[in-house]
Amino acid sequence: MRHLISPMDFSVEELDDLLVLAKDIEDHPQKYAHACDGKKLATCFYEPSTRTRLSFEAAMLNLGGSVLGFSSADSSSAAKGESVSDTIRVISCYADICAMRHPKEGAPLVASLHATIPVINAGDGGHQHPTQTLTDLLTINNLKGRLDNLTIGLCGDLKFGRTVHSLIRALVRYPGIRFLLISPPELRLPDYIREGVLDQLNIPYEEVVRLEEAMPELDILYMTRVQRERFFNEEDYIRMKDYYILNREKMTLAPDDMLILHPLPRVNEISTEIDDDPRAAYFKQAQYGVYVRMALILTLLGIEV
């Protein structure tokens, strides 16, 4: 039995296979319409979500399966003090696979140790968000045609942004990757990733504060929102929240083929005037999230079509 807790749980070859499968699902959805007949996905979300939970549910429904679950800790027995390990033991009796989001780092890992079904980390605190990474890789691969030899600007809340942490871990395994880390000093990438991953693997990167400085060099600009829910102090959040606002004026500095990605939700960091720029790929990215989660469910359940 396999789980997906970190993007490192899949080898580069397995990731490539997953992306090929996701592309085939996009091109031939009917072929997969009954692949999960009789199977059930549990979505156990202890934290709010729109895309991840609903795209998982859409993915299972598209595969002919069914879904059950809860969308907040308050509506589950966590509110009565039940542990994650007890909850997953019970969910294992009701469903064939589980996607779990939790505000505490490591909770889906704990769940995987007590589960008898595959557990997917759908975001754990400020730590990792591996299925967003699968979505990001599929988007880059489909729209850029490659996952290597790219200069990627990661902009915004690099401290708490779990999508950035997971994406870095996945992309460092491809050749020719260079990062521009664009953040205010207070929200810079944590040491355990900057030193523990980038320095350790000799991955080229620069830390910059001004987005304008980075824009002309980028193949991909990955914008993130400031993660209000992870701040201890509301004043700090208010000071940081509009640090970066991507608008038409800044986009004049970007190459014509640069892609703008964002895991969403967006707050103010991308002006809506950018949405019809052909380089804006963030809504397409959300669509790719369904195909890649369909591919992931099939892979973890060991179903071949």
Say how far apart CA 135 and CA 303 lie, in whole Å.
20
Residue (of 222, 218, 241) closest to 285 by Cα position: 222
Residue count at the site for ligand CP (CB under 6 A)?
9
Least Å distance between CB 234 and ligand CP?
A: 20
Residue list 264-293, contact with ligand CP (CB under 6 A):
264-265
For residues 28 to 67, the per-residue mask of contacts with ligand CP, x marking binding by CB under 6 A and - elsewhere, is ---------------------xxxx---------------
Question: 217, 187 in Cβ contact below 8 A?
Answer: no
Q: Is 266 a catalytic residue?
A: no
Which one among 263, 274, 288, 292 touches ligand CP, defined by CB under 6 A? 263
Nearer to ligand CP, 151 or 285 (CB): 285
Strand, helix or coil for residue 92: helix
Strand, helix or coil for residue 304: coil
Q: From residue 102, how far is each of 77, 179, 240, 295 by CA, in Å?
A: 14, 28, 24, 23
* CB contact set of 199 (below 8 Å; sequence gap of 6+): none
Nearer to ligand CP, 49 or 112 (CB): 49
Question: 211, 252 in Cβ contact below 8 A?
Answer: no
Among the candidate windows 15-23, 56-64, 196-204, 260-268, which touches ligand CP by CB under 6 A? 260-268
Least Å distance between CB 121 and ligand CP?
A: 11
Least Å distance between CB 37 and ligand CP?
A: 27
Least Å distance between CB 66 and ligand CP?
A: 21
Q: Does 132 bind ligand CP (CB under 6 A)?
A: yes
Nearer to ligand CP, 260 or 264 (CB): 264
Residue (of 276, 229, 250, 246) closest to 125 by Cα position: 229
Strand, helix or coil for residue 261: strand
Q: Cβ–Cβ contacts within 10 Å for residue 182, how many?
A: 28
Six token digits for residue 284: 């397409």
Question: 171, 201 in Cβ contact below 8 A?
Answer: no
Q: Cβ–Cβ contacts within 10 Å for residue 151, how many?
A: 18
Q: Is 102 a catalytic residue?
A: no
Nearer to ligand CP, 39 or 53 (CB): 53
For residues 153 to 182, the per-residue mask of contacts with ligand CP, x marking binding by CB under 6 A and - elsewhere, is ------------------------------
Q: Does 121 bind ligand CP (CB under 6 A)?
A: no
Q: Which among 39, 53, 102, 129 is annotated as catalytic?
A: 129
Nearer to ligand CP, 52 or 183 (CB): 52
Say how far apart CA 281 and CA 35 lie, in whole Å.
29
Q: Does 112 bind ligand CP (CB under 6 A)?
A: no
Nearer to ligand CP, 35 or 111 (CB): 111
Question: 74, 45 in Cβ contact below 8 A?
Answer: no
Q: Which residues bind ligand CP (CB under 6 A)?
A: 49-52, 123, 132, 263-265
Catalytic residues: 51-52, 80, 101, 129
